[in-house]
Structure 1
Amino acid sequence: MTDSDGKPHQGSAGSDGEPVYADRVYRSIPGVISGVLLLAVAGWLIGDAALSGTGKTPYVSLAAVPVFAFPVIAYTLRPAVLANDRRLVVRNPLRTITAPWASVEALRAGYSVELFAGGAKYQVWAVPVSLRQRKRANRIQQRGGVDRHPSRLGVAFGRPGAGSSVVAGAPDPSRAWSDQVVGVLQEQAERNAARPDAAGPVVVRWCWWIIAPTLAGLAALVVAIVV
């Protein structure tokens, strides 16, 4: 994050005496917007059904809340990539992958962004690949011109580097946003892999606060429909 004066927020010093900065966060703007809109529309429909419905309609609608809300949150609002000088955190819909930079083998942007770490491959949901954006970037490269309408596919917050504290959209119109993010993260992995505090195994944690309420709501929904 950044201070109000636009400078990166400096935390406490690390083990090597260098200051520890807050994570830089990458996420998809369209994903967040679509998630908020879906939750708003669903809240209006479910609320109307619960208040004005008859019979078992109110119970069915209320039981459907966690079945709909938690997956929408998981797949639209939750995904994010967090990176600092020590590790990379990939927050996917149902899992969180924490990979110290020394364990990161590669990042690849094909039809989707993939993280190779600890001998395994993980999808990176927070950085979607837009083929249309790539085609536009290729046309800009061929023309050697500048696109005056940069992509708003994603945004990065945090400490992108000297002289800049926030980078939004695609500052380089000749490259797709997903390719830019992968390039920055790959460079960061190569730069920080030798740090003594960037070593360790890859840790994968399941997001039970999403999974458990969804399964409980599904069971309640089945009971409300059958009974």
Structure 2
Amino acid sequence: MTTPEPQPSTPDPVSRDRIYRSPMGIVGGVLLLALVLWLGIDALIRGEGRTQWLALAALILLVPLVSAFTLRPAVYANEERLRIRNPLRVIVLPWGQVASLRSGYSNEVLTKSGTKFQLWAIPVSLRARKKAAREQAQAAAERNAAARGEKRRRGGGGLGGGGLGADGPVRAETDKIMDELRELLVRRENEESAQGEVTVRWAYEVAGPALAGAVLLLILLTMP
């Protein structure tokens, strides 16, 4: 009789990331990249002598930088950690290391050690906040008017309350995202699987080519 071989234990499945990016940043980045490439390639093909080298250096400098500040930023959140991909850095924050998520003129995460990181992929839109406030005020006015009409018909009753939409207060999209992240933080910060150390990695794949392009452009511009 043979003894069955023990089966290797399978690791617990990792929760799927929620990915947050800026649609307007992506659209703007694609358009800006198209413009840079069009002008740069045109100069490479039609230019002569030093112009071609200047165009090449500008492309090596600008393409990584434009991509980094528009297409690259993203925030990944799951049950264990928050991963922030900013233009020049990637920050991994276990929920146990996050002290708070703050919204002002920018959205930021503050660690328990006091370090602050900006969420480039979730930009604050003051225009969107003002629009949400207007919609909230309008919804409140409509409910109050309806409540007054109902009161006149029935001869009693109170006014409708607050500036709530069908699913709660009207909020700007990026503020809703920050609310989701705060809920995840409150729910997971004390869990054992959400503990660990903060790690920060510089994006050398962006900085390297951009620095090479800057050096080449500087040499070309200073040459007689």
Match of 2:56 among 44, 47, 62: 62
1:222: how far off? 1.7
Q: CA deviation at 1:178?
A: 1.4
CA distance in 2, matches of 1:77, 1:125: 11
Q: Which amino acid aligns with 1:204?
A: V
2-structure distance, mates of 1:80, 1:21: 18
Cα RMSD of the aligned pairs, angstroms, is: 1.7
In structure 2, relative to structure 1, the CA distance for the partners of 1:76 and 1:172 (3 Å cut) is farther
User: Is the counterpart of residue 122 in structure 1 residue 117 in structure 2?
Assistant: yes
What is the count of residue pairs matched by the alignment?
Answer: 187
Q: What is the CA deviation profile of residues 129-188 of structure 1, one whole-angstrom value per residue up to 9, with x for unaligned ones?
A: 11111011111111227xxxxxxxxxxxxxxxxxxxxxxxxx978101111111100110
AA in 2 matched with 1:182: M
TM-score under structure 1 length normalisation: 0.78
Cα offsets for 1:68-103 (capped at 9, x unmatched)? 111101100110000011000111111111100111
C-alpha distance 67-173 of structure 1, shift in aligned 2 (>3 A): farther
- Structure 2, unaligned runs of 5 or more: 1-9, 141-166
Q: 1:220 aligns with which of 207, 210, 216?
A: 216
1:28 counterpart = 2:22: yes
Counterpart of 1:112 in structure 2: which amino acid? S
Q: Using the alignment, how far apart are the partners of 1:219 and 1:93 within structure 2? A: 20
Number of the residue aligned with 1:148: none
Residue equivalent to 2:137: 142
AA in 2 matched with 1:206: W
Which residue does 1:41 correspond to in 2? 35
Q: Distance in 1 between matches of 2:43 and 2:21?
A: 33
Q: What TM-score comes out, normalization by structure 2 length?
A: 0.79
Structure with greater Cα Rg: 2
* Secondary structure of the corresponding residue to residue 82 of structure 2: strand
- 1:87-130 deviations in Å (ceiling 9; x for gaps): 00111111111100111111011111010113211111100111
Q: Distance in 1 between matches of 2:179 and 2:207?
A: 32
Q: Distance in 2 between matches of 1:94 and 1:172?
A: 37
SS in 2 for 1:30: helix
User: In structure 1, what is the equivalent of residue 126 of structure 2?
Assistant: 131
Q: Aligned partners of 1:222, 1:193: CA distance in 2, in Å?
A: 48
1:42-191 superposed matches below 5 A: 42-119=36-113, 120-144=115-139, 174-191=170-187
Q: Choose which of 199, 206, 210 in structure 1 pairs with 2:195.
A: 199
CA distance in 2, matches of 1:186, 1:112: 15
Structure 2 vs 1, CA of residues 70 and 135 (structure 1 numbering), >3 Å: closer, same or farther? same
Q: Which residue pairs with 1:156 in the alignment?
A: none
- Offset of residue 55 of structure 1: 2.4
Whole-angstrom distance in 2 between the partners of 1:24 and 1:197: 17
Give unpaired runs (5+ residues) of structure 1. 1-11, 146-170
More strand by share: 1
Aligned-residue identity in percent: 44
Q: Is the 8 A contact 1:35 1:73 kept in 2?
A: yes
Q: Contact 1:98 / 1:204 at 8 angstroms: preserved in 2?
A: yes
If each structure's helix is expressed as a fraction of its own residues, which one has the higher value?
A: 2
* Alpha-carbon distance between aligned partners in 2 of 1:200 and 1:20, rounded to the nearest angstrom: 15
